[in-house]
Structure 1
C-alpha cells in the first residue's frame, strides 16, 4: 500500500536525510511559504543536517536566500538565483488579478511608475532600507502609503521583479543588485523545471496539487507536466494519479524508522501548505482545526507516521517555555511521550 504521507516526509527532507545547508533546502523545495518569518526559518532548518535557524538567517543575510512574492501573491523563501525566473513565470497572473484592488487604493499607472523610480533611486548602489524606511521615502515624495497602499506598492514592485526582501526580515533591496547572477530560463524551460522540482520535492502529488501550488493556468500546467513527466514516477491511489521522484521510495526506505516517528511542524510548513488536497495527511473532519475560523492562519501541527494528529503551541516563557499539544482525538502513549522530545529538538 502506498503511504503518501510517509513518502512526502521523505521527499520534503523532513524525515531525512537533511540537506547540507539552508540554500540547498530552499532550492530543493523551490519555494517555501514565509508569512511567519520565525516559522519559515524553522521549516527550512528542520530540513538541514545542522537544524540551525541561525544558519538560515545567515543565508538570508548573505543573499543566498531571499524573500518575495513569486507565486500566489504570497510571501515565500526562494534561492536568490531562482527568484527572477519564478517571478517572471508565476507572478503576472497575480498582478493581473489585483488590478481592481490597486485601482480601489488609487494606485494608477502613473503613481506606480513614480513609486518604482523613487524606490530605485533610494536603493541604488547597494543601499538596504527597512520596509518602514522605504514607505517613509515614498510618503516624503508625495506617494501616500496610508492604509494598504504601502504594502500594495511593495508587493506589486516585488511581483514585477524590481524589489525583494533581502537581509533580516523586512529589509528591502533592488533585485538587479542583490541578485547579480540570476538564472535565465525561457518560458518552456521554466515550466518544465518548476513542475519537475515540485514533484521531486513534494511528491507524491497530483496535477491539481501542482496547479494550486504554482497558480498557473491549465495550459501552462499541461506544458510543464509534459516536459517533467519522463523524469517522474507515477502511482495510482484510489483511482487518482500521483507523481513523484522515482528515488523517493528508496529515500523513505532509508529513513523509515524516523518517518514513523513524531514531528512538530511550524504553522505554514510546506508539508501542509504545498497541496490542494491535504486529505492524505489531514483527516477531512479535522482540517478546520488547523485553520480555526478559516482565517488563513495555519496552526503548528503534530505529525505522527505521516499523519497530522493534532496541533501544538509554545507554553510559558523563557527557561520555563514548554509545549502544549492538543490532539484531534487522543495521543497514543508513544506520541505523547515523543512530543516533548520533538519540541526540545526544534530548530
Structure 2
C-alpha cells in the first residue's frame, strides 16, 4: 500500500482529493457539461472556462484532458472548439503551453507576460534574438496573417527564413513564443489535426472583462511599474486567483503562486480583492481556499454532488489534477513518483487514478481503427479496479472513435515496463 506524506492523514487526503476531483470536473463532471449533451464544442468550452488553463505542451494529452472532463465528448468536439475560436492554445505563464479561452488567455497574459519575457531575455541574447530581429518577426506575422491568414509552424518558419531570420536551434520556437506572450499570435484552428498560428485579436476578438489587452510593464527591479496600481490590474489579479481556486480548490495561495508564477505580494493583493467570494479553511496546518462560485457565476447545481462519481479514471499525462499543485504527495506516493516521470525527464505519463490516488500509468498505440492500451499499475489490481479501469479506457476509446484493445498481461501482473 502506498505511503502518505507525513503531513496528511489518510482520511484528510482522501477528502481533499475527492473535493479536487469535483472542482476539476473529473468526478462528477460539472453541471454545465451535463446540460449540453448534444453540443460537444460548447461542452469543451465550458470545461476550458472552468479550468482557466490546462497544460498543453503535448497536444494529444491536452485534447484528452478536456475530453475526460466532458463525458461523451469526442476528439472532434475539441477540434470543433478550436476551429470555432472558443478555445486556443498559447503560453499564458511559466513558458508552458496551455489551452484556455481567448479572453482568459488575455487575462493571464496581462499579469504574467512582462515578467515571463523578462525571465527569457538571457536566452534571447544567446540566440541572437535582439530587438531588430523581433521587430521584423512581428512585422512578418502582422503582414502575412492579418486578414484571416493562418500558418503552420513550418510555414511560419519559412516566412522567417525568407526574411533572413534563421529559425533553427529553437530560434523560431522562441520567436513564436515571444509574439504569443505579447498577445499577438496564438495557436488556433486545426488542419489535419495540427494547429495553425493566427492573430489572436482577429481570430477571437476580445470580449468584456478584466484585463483583456492591458499589460503593465516592469520597472528596473522587475516589479510592476506605476501603471500596476491601476484598479483594473487589481481586478484582474482577483479574477486570476479566484478562477484558479474555482477549478482547483481547496488550494493555498502558495499553490497559486507556484502555478501562475505571480509574486506573493500580487497574489495577496488579488486574494484580498475577492476575499468575500472565497471560503478559507485550515487543512494540514495550512490555510486553504475554495471559491464560492464558478467562472460563470451560477454554474452550480445542488444535485451535482449527489450524482455518483466514478472512482476510477484514466487521466492524461501532464494533467492538472497532479500538476496543478506543487505538493503532489496527497495524490501520488513519493516512492512512485519516478514511475510517473521516468528518469525525471520532465515528461509525465498518463495516469491511472483510483479514488483520487495515482495507482499506475498507461500507454497507448494507435493502429488500423483501434487503440491498444497497456496498463501499468504500481501494484496488482483487484477485480473491481480492473473493471473500473476497463470502463475508463472504453471512454477514452469512444472519445477517439476507435475500438479498444486492452493489454491484459500488464493488467494482470502490474509489472513495470521492461
Normalised-by-shorter TM-score class: over 0.9
Out of 12, 17, 29, the residue aligned to residue 5 of structure 1 is: 17
* Residues 1:94 and 2:116 aligned together: yes
Shift in alpha-carbon separation, 1:244–1:133, aligned structure 2, 3 A: same
Residue 85 (structure 1) shift:
2.3
Q: Is 2:333 the partner of 1:283?
A: yes
Equivalent residue number for residue 361 of structure 2? 311
Query: Secondary structure at 1:64's aligned position in 2?
Result: coil
- For the pair shown, the structure with the greater C-alpha radius of gyration is 2
1:262 and 2:309 matched: no
What SS does the corresponding residue of 1:177 show, helix, strand or coil? Answer: helix
The question of whether the paired residues in 2 share the 8 Å contact of 1:83 and 1:182 is answered with no
TM-score by length of 1: 0.94
CA contact (8 A) 2:107 2:240 kept: no
Q: Is the 8 A contact 1:82 1:182 kept in 2?
A: no
**What is the CA distance between 1:315 and its match in structure 2?**
5.0
Larger RCO, structure (CA 8 Å, separation 6 or more):
1
Q: Residue 321 of structure 1 aligns to a residue in which SS?
A: strand
Contact 1:12 1:271 in 2 (8 A): yes
Q: Give the corresponding residue for 1:17.
A: 29
Q: How does 1:120-159 map to 2 (within 5 A)?
A: 120-159=142-181
Residues 198, 151 of structure 1: alpha-carbon distance in 2 compared, 3 angstrom cutoff: same
Distance change (3 Å), C-alpha of 1:38 and 1:120: same
User: Structure 1's 343 and 275: CA in aligned 2 closer, same or farther, altered over 3 A?
Assistant: same
1:207 is aligned, of 253, 267, 270, to 253
Deviation digits for residues 298-321 of structure 1, max 9, x if unmatched? 100000011111111125744553
In the alignment, which of 192, 204, 207 is matched to residue 179 of structure 1? 204
Q: How many pairs align? A: 345
Deviation at 1:322, TM superposition (A): 3.0
In structure 2, the residue matched to 1:78 is 100
Structure 1, gaps ≥5 residues long: none
Q: Which moved more, 1:241-250 or 1:229-238?
A: 241-250
Say whether residues 1:234 and 2:285 are aligned partners.
no
Task: For residue 83 of structure 1, report the CA deviation from its aligned partner.
Answer: 1.9
Runs (4+) of structure 1 moved beyond 6 Å? 247-252
Residues in 1 aligned to 2:54 and 2:303: alpha-carbon distance in whole angstroms: 21
How far did 1:63 drift? 0.6
Task: After TM superposition, give the deviation of residue 177 of structure 1 in Å.
Answer: 0.8
Preserved CA contact (<8 Å) 2:350 2:363: yes
Instruction: Name stretches of at least 5 consecutive residues in structure 2 with no aligned partner.
Output: 1-10, 37-42, 211-231, 294-299, 400-418
Distance 1:151 1:167 in 2: 19
TM-score of the two chains, using structure 2 as the length reference: 0.78
> How far 1:250 moved relative to its partner?
6.7
